[in-house]
Amino acid sequence: MGLPWYRVHTVVLNDPGRLISVHLMHTALVAGWAGSMALYELAIFDPSDPVLNPMWRQGMFVMPFMARLGVTQSWGGWSVTGEAATNPGFW
């Protein structure tokens, strides 16, 4: 059966080294998932008609949040809209 969730969290709270390592591992898992999903969505994204076929209708989950934060161009010349990126700046 295993331990209940509150018992497991109590064990982690009483060990500072384990608490930090658990949080670092969780951060790594979330960042890895977000990065791999962003690459997958970028591979299947069709920017040809942003009005009638927007990101959310194509089943995108991560890219709309990235676009909301301002990540729409790259230093390598890539752009969400399909145009050539001239000066992406920081984002």
Residue 77 lies in a domain: no
Residue 83 lies in a domain: no
Number of domains in the chain: 1
Q: What is the mean pLDDT of the chain?
A: 81
Question: Is 74 among the domain residues?
Answer: no
Average pLDDT score over residue span 62-69: 84
Contact (CB, 8 A) for 47 and 72: no
Whole-angstrom distance, CA of residue 37 vs CA of residue 78: 17
Q: Is residue 30 part of a domain?
A: yes
The answer to whether the beta carbons of residues 85 and 78 sit under 8 Å apart is yes
Q: Flag whether 88 is in a domain.
A: no
The residue segments making up the domain with residue 34 are 5-69
Instruction: Write the pLDDT tens digit of every residue in 13-37.
Output: 788 888 889 889 999 999 999 999 9
Residue 87 lies in a domain: no
On whether residue 75 sits in a domain, the answer given is no
> Considering the domain boundaries, does residue 41 fall inside one?
yes
